[in-house]
Structure 1
Amino acid sequence: MDLSLTAWIQTGIIVFLSTAPPEVYISARPFKDNLKLSCLATGFHPKEITMNIRRDGHLVDRDDCLQSTGVRPNGNGTHQIKMWVMIPGGDTAKYTCEVNHPASNIHVVEEWGKSLVG
């Protein structure tokens, strides 16, 4: 077998068998009279992951107009997912982003610190 083909196969096997934990970010930016609160998990492999946004401990869902990109490739063998929801500008609730990546045995909860981006 050609040496470069062997190296390519070995690299593919290593990537396939490896795990990479997610980096998790929560942020908000002004949007009209509201805030767009976003949660991003990126850099994880394999792609199986769960993400939730919580308001005062309660799950935010599609009834609350939660939106998601779904899991997408980053182009380097890892993946990303983003979820967001619009919240009133004066909302004083505690918002958290919760991510569970079973392959890397990672469970992350990030709290929004009320700072704004943009």
Structure 2
Amino acid sequence: MLWALTNNSYDGDDFLAFDDATMQWVAPVDQALPTKWKWDRVQILNQYTKGYLEKECVDWVSKFMVYGDKEFSPPKIYVFANKAKTAGNVHLTCMATGFYPKDVIIHIKKNGVHLTDKDGVQSSVVIPNDDDAYQIRKSVEIQEADTSNYKCYVLHGTLLKPIVGKWGKVF
């Protein structure tokens, strides 16, 4: 089976395709030949691509087929700060709600750096709302005097680019 990678295009035409039977790249336009030759030599890339297209991609398509007639909804995000129990600290919270399907990614970043649970980020699980949509929260406790730039990034299949929320000086 030949898999066209249409997001790799040149002047509106397919740029590269992958033939999973031969595990080789196919260049339908001359401008793609240098990339084809380079990628064909990277065997691990070809094995990964074959596995992705035959397993993960099929899993995603199957997953979305289950959604059937349900309407896809982008998340709405809310960022807010509350006083923490520890004196001099605040909780920064990012909540995404109203989205469907339930697969969503939320990151809190400090000065552009992704914070993790090792940085104190706490996350709820994705839970259903009353309207068949979903919600999730992430939060981090910081010192009230912290003047760093904190932002919340929400990625969802209905979005072309992440939604970004920024906490103002609301403490």
Indicate the TM-score class for this superposition, using the shorter chain for normalisation: 0.7 to 0.9
- Structure number having the greater strand percentage: 1
The 8 Å contact of residues 19 and 46 in structure 1, kept in 2 or not, is answered as yes
Q: What displacement does 1:14 show?
A: 3.0
Once the two structures are superposed, what CA deviation does each residue of 1:68-105 show, in whole Å capped at 9, x if it has no partner? 11211012110000000100110000100000011344
- Number of the residue aligned with 2:35: none
Q: Normalised by the size of structure 2, how large is the TM-score?
A: 0.57
- Structure number having the greater helix percentage: 2
Could you tell me which runs of 5 or more consecutive residues in structure 1 were left unpaired when the two chains were aligned: 1-11
Once residues 95 and 28 of structure 1 are traced to their aligned partners in structure 2, the CA distance between those partners, rounded to angstroms, is 11
SS of the residue corresponding to residue 158 of structure 2 reads helix
Q: What displacement does 1:56 show?
A: 0.5
Equivalent position amino acid for 1:65 in 2: G
User: Would you identify which runs of 4 or more consecutive aligned residues in structure 1 move more than 3 Å?
Assistant: 103-106
Aligned length: 103
- Number of the residue aligned with 2:104: 49
Once residues 64 and 103 of structure 1 are traced to their aligned partners in structure 2, the CA distance between those partners, rounded to angstroms, is 29
Equivalent position amino acid for 2:72 in 1: T
Q: What's the Cα RMSD here?
A: 1.5
> Superposed, which structure 2 residues align to 1:1-118 within 5 Å?
13-15=68-70, 18-31=71-84, 32-33=86-87, 34-116=89-171
Query: Greater CA radius of gyration, 1 or 2?
Result: 2
Q: Normalised by the size of structure 1, how large is the TM-score?
A: 0.81
> Percent identity at matched positions?
34
Q: Which has the higher contact order (CA 8 A, sep 6+)?
A: 1
